[in-house]
Amino acid sequence: MKGRTISPGKVKGIALVSKDPIGFYGGIDIKTGIVIEKGHPLEGQNVKDKILVFPCGKGSTVGSYVIYGLQKNGVAPKGIINKETETIVATGVILAGIPCVDKIDIEQIKDGDMVVLNADNAIVEVAH
Amino acid sequence: MYLTKKEESILHGEQGEVPERMLRLLVQLGDIYGADKMIPVGSVQVAGVSYKSITDPGTEFLEDLAGKGAKVKVLTFLNPAGMDLENWETLKFPKEFAKNQLRIINAFKNMGIVITATCTPYLAGNLPRFREHIAWSESSAISFSNSVIGARTNREGGPSALAAGILGKTPNYGFHLWENRQPTIKVKIETNLTLDADFGALGYHVGKQVKNKIPYFTGITNADTDQLKALGAAMAASGAVALYHVEGLTPEADLVRKDNLENITVTKKELDEAYEKLNTGKEPDIVILGCPHASLREISAVAERLKGRKLRKPVWVCTSRMMKEAAERMGYSEIIENAGGHIVADTCMVVSPIEEMGYKTTGVNSGKAGNYLPGFCKQNVYFAHLEKLLEAVV
State how far the alpha carbon of A113 is from the alpha carbons of A23, A26, A60, B119, in Å. Answer: 23, 27, 29, 41
Determine contact: B25 vs chain A, CB below 8 A.
yes
How big is the CA angle at A53 (ends A48 and A54), to the nearest 5 degrees?
120
Same domain, B160 and B54: yes
d(CA B352, CA B355): 9
| Interface contact A38-B48, CB threshold 8 A | no
- One-letter amino acid at B201 equals A
Return the pLDDT at B354.
Answer: 84
How big is the CA angle at A47 (ends B368 and B49), to the nearest 5 degrees?
45
pLDDT cut 70: percent of chain B above it = 100
| Interface contact B154-A87, CB threshold 8 A | yes
State how far the alpha carbon of B300 is from the alpha carbons of B209, B315, B329, B332, B336, in Å. Answer: 34, 14, 12, 6, 10
Bridge partners for A82 per DSSP: A54
Task: Of A106, A89, A116, give the one whose Cα is nearest residue A11.
Answer: A116
Same domain, B304 and B328: yes
Interface of B with A in 28-87 (CB under 8 A): 28-29, 32-33, 47-48, 53-58, 61, 79
pLDDT cut 90: percent of chain B above it = 92
Peptide bond between residue A77 and the one before it cis (omega within 30 degrees of 0) = no
Residue B187: phi and psi, rounded to 5, are -120, 110
Return the pLDDT at B334.
Answer: 98
Determine contact: A58 vs chain B, CB below 8 A.
yes
Residue that is last in its domain, among B276, B292, B316: B276
Determine contact: A41 vs chain B, CB below 8 A.
no
Same domain, B100 and B222: no
**Residue numbers of the domain that contains B141:** 5-178
Query: What is the CATH architecture of A4-127?
Result: 3-Layer(bba) Sandwich (3.50)
Return the pLDDT at B92.
Answer: 86
Same domain, B100 and B115: yes
Same domain, B271 and B245: yes
CA–chain centroid gap for B288, Å, is: 16
| Interface contact B350-A64, CB threshold 8 A | no
Q: For B293-329, write each residue's pLDDT tens digit.
A: 999 999 999 999 999 999 999 999 999 999 999 999 9
Return the pLDDT at B109.
Answer: 98
Q: Which residues of A touch B140 (CB under 8 A)?
A: none
Return the pLDDT at B355.
Answer: 86
The mean predicted confidence, pLDDT, of chain B is 96
Residue B357: which pLDDT band, with cuts at 50, 70 and 90?
Answer: confident
State how far the alpha carbon of A2 is from the alpha carbons of A90, A105, B93, B394, in Å. Answer: 18, 9, 50, 60
Supply the residues of A annotated as catalytic. Answer: 60
| Interface contact B212-A58, CB threshold 8 A | yes
Same domain, B167 and B197: no
ipTM reported for the complex, 2 dp: 0.87
Same domain, B38 and B167: yes
Determine contact: B379 vs chain A, CB below 8 A.
no
Q: Which residue of A has its CA nearest to B26?
A: A91
Q: For B181-196, write each residue's pLDDT tens digit.
A: 999 999 999 999 999 9
| Interface contact A21-B211, CB threshold 8 A | yes
pTM: 0.92
What is the mean predicted confidence (pLDDT) over B198-226? 96
Rg (CA), chain B: 21
Q: What is the DSSP string of B148-202?
A: II--B-----HHHHHHHHHHTEEE--GGGSGGGGS-SEEEEE-S---SHHHHHHH
- One-letter amino acid at B271 equals L
Determine contact: A99 vs chain B, CB below 8 A.
no
Nearest to A59 among B48, B137, B237 (CB): B237
Q: What is the CATH number of the domain that holds B286?
A: 3.30.499.10
Instruction: Identify which has the larger pLDDT, B349 or A86.
Output: A86
Cβ–Cβ under 8 Å, residues A109 and A115: yes
What is the mean predicted confidence (pLDDT) over B76-86? 95
Same domain, B157 and B43: yes
Q: How far is B155 from chain A (nearest CA, A)?
A: 7
Nearest to B25 among A69, A72, A94 (CB): A94
Based on the structure, what is the number of domains in chain B? 3
Determine contact: B280 vs chain A, CB below 8 A.
yes
d(CA B28, CA B211): 25
Q: For B3-12, write each residue's pLDDT tens digit.
A: 999 999 999 9
Same domain, B64 and B79: yes
Q: For B90-133, write each residue's pLDDT tens digit.
A: 888 899 999 999 999 999 999 999 999 999 999 999 999 999 99
Nearest to A65 among B32, B155, B158 (CB): B158
| Interface contact B159-A86, CB threshold 8 A | no
Determine contact: B236 vs chain A, CB below 8 A.
yes
Q: How far is B303 from chain A (nearest CA, A)?
A: 30
Task: Of B219, B194, B205, give the one whose Cα is nearest residue B273.
Answer: B205
Determine contact: A74 vs chain B, CB below 8 A.
no
Q: Is A59's pLDDT higher than 80?
A: no
d(CA B307, CA B51): 35
What is the mean predicted confidence (pLDDT) over B249-260? 97
Return the pLDDT at B350.
Answer: 82
d(CA B351, CA A76): 22
| Interface contact B25-A95, CB threshold 8 A | yes
What is the mean predicted confidence (pLDDT) over B275-292? 95
Residue B349: which pLDDT band, with cuts at 50, 70 and 90?
Answer: confident
Q: Which residues of B touch A35 (CB under 8 A)?
A: none
Residue A102: which pLDDT band, with cuts at 50, 70 and 90?
Answer: very high
Residue that is last in its domain, among B178, B212, B237: B178
Q: Which residue of A has its CA nearest to B175?
A: A87
Same domain, B140 and B18: yes
Helices B158-167 and A63-72 cross at an angle (nearest 10°) of: 110
Q: Is A127's pLDDT higher than 90?
A: no
State how far the alpha carbon of B187 is from the alpha carbons of B180, B202, B215, B220, in Å. Answer: 18, 11, 6, 10
Bridge partners for A81 per DSSP: A53, A101
State how far the alpha carbon of B51 is from the alpha carbons of B244, B264, B377, in Å. Answer: 31, 39, 14
Q: Which residues of B touch A65 (CB under 8 A)?
A: 48, 53-54, 57-58, 61, 157-159
Q: Which residue of B has its CA nearest to A65?
A: B54
Q: Is A26's pLDDT higher than 90?
A: no
Q: Which residues of B touch A42 (CB under 8 A)?
A: none
Residue that is last in its domain, among B123, B151, B178: B178
Same domain, B152 and B85: yes
